[in-house]
Amino acid sequence: MGWRRNGHKPALVGMAGPPTLWARKLEKVCGARGFGVFQRRDFCVTPTSAQEVMLTCERYAVQRLPFAEVSEQDLAFFERVLPGRVSTDPHELKAVNIDWLKMVRGCSKVLLKPKTTSEVSQILRYCNERNLAVSPQGGNTGMVGGSVPVFDEIVLSTALMNQVLSFNAISGTLVCQAGCVLEQLSQYVEERDFIMPLDLGAKGSCHIGGNVATNAGGLRLLRYGSLRGTVLGLEVVLADGLVLDCLTSLRKDNTGYDLKQLFMGSEGTLGIITAVSILCSQKPKVVNVAFLGCPGFSEVLQTFSTCKGMLGEILSAFEFMDDRCMQLVESHLRLSSPIKENPFYVLIETSGSDARHDEEKLTNFLERVMDSGLVTDGTVATDNTKIKMLWALRERITEALSCDGYVYKYDISLPVEKLYDLVLDIRSRLGESAKSVVGYGHLGEPRGRLHLGGRPQLPGCWRPSPVAVGRQQRSVAPNRPARRRTSSATASPPRPSCSCSASRPCWTPGAS
């Protein structure tokens, strides 16, 4: 028992090894060659092929709406607007047709890569007139299947809209195109002594436009608030090609309606976000990260309360994960826990401006929680490399889950005191039909955020929720029904019938 400053064991941050036993088992059962994630920077790679992911339109009873099909003339028009940036290459299209979790697959035959707002506007105006459906895509890291087409919608990627337009080093206002990768923006502003107000595990791939379109929360929400407060302005191209310029950089703007708010969380249903103005905060001078082990969830909650009381103004993140999460990151990503095995782990980050002051506060807090038995072991890191290693244990859980096989993931807001009951209830309800049901997330949000991940023991029994993917075809064209996200505790989709031959009753994610 004890806590160590910078006492992190060396960890191997690496790619996944050979397919897991589970993947091999699936190979036998399904004739598949493994389930995993796309080959992306930061994420592990598991052998996979698009053929393993069933087409969304075959899996679900969804009807293609009466859109036109892309013709040779359409392709010629796109090529005139975007010379050399129209792809019909099946290899390139394979990647943009499947979502990050490999739950859904579309069959788009055209990928468009505009670089400017004017190009997006010309494309959307043309598609609107031709009645062609369009599916906007950022980094394709979304967890609810919204970034990929359902049928043959044209994929409009913001990947080449990746320019910083301006940065004001006094106010911290960054104006950039929507396709800038979050991690690259972070590096850009950090070099100028600022930080982005959001950070998430998908930062190496997700785009700022995608973050705004999904109203992403992430690891810094506790300290810097939601995007609804930090996004100052947006530029959006509507379905008919009209450019809506709300790209203000004013922090206070009380001139009438705040139209940009409509597009935050609209997930591509109302228009394509082409540029974002966002308020960055001054980079903290001192950052400390403590990684602690707790004997139970009640101790996690009491540690959180104590932490808020004693660290108050310097607290910037409070994350928790259960022991099964730790086992998964250890076995699939070869990361190692810096402390002994515990039922729960918490990661606490403080950000301030005075090293001595912050250290004193943190030390007092650690002594309190250890003396009272809330925490049984821990380590503290102050240098950047070790801080990153500790954060990796929490940030890469989603990736570890994907490496473990076919995964279903919910992102649920609940009152913090009830957060972990859900994991226990689902574990007992699923019994042996799920290999793992794990809980981890941001305790720092006002209601607590639980990432509930599960992996089926019986692949045939595990069905994506119909609310998630049984949606109508989505596009930016008008009169399309907006899609609901699965990531809501209030979503209670009907339980679909199961046609597998398992002897025990099957559970379906989303069934209450």
Which positions touch ligand FAD (CB under 6 A)?
100, 136-143, 146-147, 158, 178, 200-202, 206-207, 209-211, 213-214, 216-218, 267-268, 272-273, 398-399
CA separation for the pair 134, 121 (Å, rounded):
12
CA separation for the pair 368, 373 (Å, rounded):
9
- Least separation in angstroms between residue 162's CB and ligand FAD is 12
Instruction: Give whole-number Cα distances, 169 to 70, 235, 339, in Å.
Output: 46, 22, 40
- Least separation in angstroms between residue 213's CB and ligand FAD is 3
Report the b/e string of 26-55 with b at 16+ CB within 10 A. bbeeeebbbbbbbebebbbebbbebebbee
- Least separation in angstroms between residue 91's CB and ligand FAD is 19
- Least separation in angstroms between residue 500's CB and ligand FAD is 28
Instruction: Name 240's Cβ contacts closer than 8 Å, sequence gap at least 6.
Output: 124, 125, 128, 478
- Least separation in angstroms between residue 93's CB and ligand FAD is 15
Closer CB to ligand FAD, residue 280 or residue 450? 450
Nearest residue to ligand FAD, by Cβ distance, number only: 210
Closer CB to ligand FAD, residue 210 or residue 241? 210
Report the b/e string of 498-509 with b at 16+ CB within 10 A. beeeeeeebbbb
- Least separation in angstroms between residue 237's CB and ligand FAD is 9
- Least separation in angstroms between residue 179's CB and ligand FAD is 7
Instruction: Name 167's Cβ contacts closer than 8 Å, sequence gap at least 6.
Output: 173, 174, 175, 188, 189, 192
CA separation for the pair 494, 375 (Å, rounded):
41
- Least separation in angstroms between residue 76's CB and ligand FAD is 26
- Least separation in angstroms between residue 386's CB and ligand FAD is 21
CA separation for the pair 73, 306 (Å, rounded):
65
Closer CB to ligand FAD, residue 110 or residue 213? 213
Enumerate the β-bridge partners of residue 236.
Answer: 244, 273
Question: If residue 168 lies in a helix (H) or strand (E), which one and from where to where?
Answer: strand 164-168
- Least separation in angstroms between residue 487's CB and ligand FAD is 8
Contact (CB, 8 A) for 509 and 429: no
Closer CB to ligand FAD, residue 109 or residue 396? 396
- Least separation in angstroms between residue 77's CB and ligand FAD is 22
CA separation for the pair 450, 446 (Å, rounded):
12
Closer CB to ligand FAD, residue 206 or residue 423? 206
194-195 vs 281-282, strand pairing mode: antiparallel
DSSP-derived secondary structure for 43-56:
S------GGGSPPH
CA separation for the pair 408, 222 (Å, rounded):
26
Closer CB to ligand FAD, residue 442 or residue 463? 442
Closer CB to ligand FAD, residue 138 or residue 510? 138
Closer CB to ligand FAD, residue 48 or residue 141? 141
Closer CB to ligand FAD, residue 265 or residue 496? 265
Contact (CB, 8 A) for 453 and 435: no
Neighbours of 3 (CB within 10 A): 21
Instruction: Name 51's Cβ contacts closer than 8 Å, sequence gap at least 6.
Output: none
Closer CB to ligand FAD, residue 342 or residue 398? 398
CA separation for the pair 234, 245 (Å, rounded):
7
Closer CB to ligand FAD, residue 11 or residue 181? 181
Place of tokens 């062609």: 132
Place of tokens 């009272």: 372
